Amino acid sequence: MICVRLCSRQGAIYGLLLTALLALGLTACATTGVDVPPPLIITVVVTAGPNAGSAEATPLTETNATPVATSAYPPPTQNNVAAVYQPFEHGFMIYLGDRQTVWIFIRSIFSSAGTPTPTQDFGVWLAFPDTFKEGDPEIDPTLVAPTGLLQPKRGFGKVWREHLDVQTALGWALDYERPYTALTTDYSLGTFDANGNYTPHSLIHTVTTVKDELIHIDEAAHTWSKP
């Protein structure tokens, strides 16, 4: 279990970005209300095979110990996805083509001897639909990046420009976008009722970066971390 404490880089920066997520004491702990754990350890990327999804939840029992019906815990879904990666001053973005979504990864900021220090290992995760259409402005020419930095373009740029809290938290882009193939795995988290019927509540994701680093995402907690 990884617990994440997110601190401000500047009072105005992280105060703008989902106050509930960036308040002191935020933790990326297990989703509450989950009665049955996933059948696989999420730090291991599973390989799809003929027996994938064969694991079942431990049968539930009534007070008289008579077994009742159970349902199989949903197996993880794994795919190779056309993706785009772009690094920023304080995080990075990943576009996933299969879900037409821009994922935002903001690094947590800690204060060390009065100096803001970003961690490389965890932070806030956000997701936005990619609403960029051909013919939309690719950049805002009135925004001039500092020397050596870049304004993000197209889908990344639209999210960055339309959400000032994201723009402030991420900073400017460090390099151009890089297309690659990402490996994504989605794990459903939920509960079984007394009759063994499964109800999903949230998802845990893993995704690889352009450098083939594995990133874990807790959708309910809006946090990301490296194993």
pLDDT at 111 over 90: no
Confidence of residue 160 (pLDDT cuts 50, 70, 90): very high
Residue ranges per domain, the chain?
78-105+124-225
Half-sphere exposure of 95 (CA within 13 A, CB side): 23
**Amino acid identity at 62:** E
Q: What pLDDT score was predicted for residue 20?
A: 38
Q: What is the CA radius of gyration of the chain?
A: 20
Which residue is listed with tokens 């490389």? Answer: 120
pLDDT in tens, 50-94: 434 433 433 333 334 334 444 577 899 999 999 999 999 999 999
Name the nearest CA neighbour of 160 among 145, 175, 148, 170: 170
Q: What pLDDT score was predicted for residue 59?
A: 39
Distance CA 206, CA 204 (A): 7
